[in-house]
Amino acid sequence: MRYFDNASTTYPKPEEVYRAQDVFLRSAANPGRGAHQFALNAARQIFDSRLAVSEFLGIRDACRLVFTGGCTQSLNMALKGLSWQPGDVVLTSALEHNAMMRPLEQLKKQGVGIVQLPYAKSNVIGADDLRSALSQKKIRLCAVSAASNVTGETVNLADVAQLCAQYKVPLLVDAAQSVGVIEQNIDDLEISIWCASGHKGLMGPPGVGLLYVKSSVEIEPLIAGGTGSQSENFAMPSDYPDHLEAGTLPGPAILGLAAGVRFLADNGIAKIAEHEMMLAAQFLDWAQTQPHIHIYGPKTIAGRLAVVSFSMDGMTPDKVADILDSRYSIAVRPGLHCAAAAHRTLGTIDAGLVRASFGWFNTVSDVEYFCQALSEIAILATR
Helix 251-267 vs helix 15-27: crossing angle, to nearest 10: 150
* pLDDT score of 30: 85
* pLDDT score of 383: 64
Contacts with 180 (C-beta within 8 Å, 6 or more apart), sequence order: 200, 201, 202, 203, 260, 261, 264, 269, 272
The ranges assigned to domains in the chain are: 15-266, 268-381
pLDDT (tens digit per residue) in 360-378: 999 999 999 999 999 999 9
Among 3.30.530.20, 2.40.50.100, 3.40.470.10, 3.90.1150.10, what is the CATH number of 268-381?
A: 3.90.1150.10
- The DSSP secondary structure of 123-192, one letter per residue, reads TEE-HHHHHHHHHHS-EEEEEEESB-TTT-BB--HHHHHHHHHHTT--EEEE-TTTTTTS---GGGTT-S
Cβ 213 vs Cβ 238: under 8 Å: no
Pairing of strands 65-68, 2-3: unpaired
Task: Look at domain 15-266 and name its CATH class.
Answer: alpha beta
What are the φ and ψ backbone dihedral angles of 211, each rounded to 5 degrees?
Answer: -140, 115
* pLDDT score of 154: 96
The number of beta carbons lying within 10 Å of the beta carbon of residue 349 is 13
SS3 per-residue string spanning 222-258: CCCCCCCCCCCCCCCCCCCCHHHCCCCCCHHHHHHHH
* pLDDT score of 123: 81
The number of beta carbons lying within 10 Å of the beta carbon of residue 274 is 10
* pLDDT score of 28: 81
* pLDDT score of 232: 84
**How far is Cα 301 from Cα 306, in angstroms, rounded to an integer?**
8
From first to last of its 383 residues, the chain has per-residue pLDDT tens of 999 999 999 999 999 999 999 999 998 888 888 888 888 888 999 999 999 999 999 999 999 999 999 999 999 999 999 999 999 999 999 999 999 999 999 999 999 999 999 998 878 999 999 999 999 879 999 999 999 999 999 999 999 999 999 999 999 999 999 999 999 899 999 899 999 999 999 999 999 999 999 999 999 999 999 888 888 889 889 999 999 999 999 999 999 999 999 999 999 999 999 999 999 999 999 999 999 999 999 999 999 999 999 999 999 999 999 999 999 999 999 999 999 999 999 999 999 999 999 999 999 999 999 999 999 999 887 76
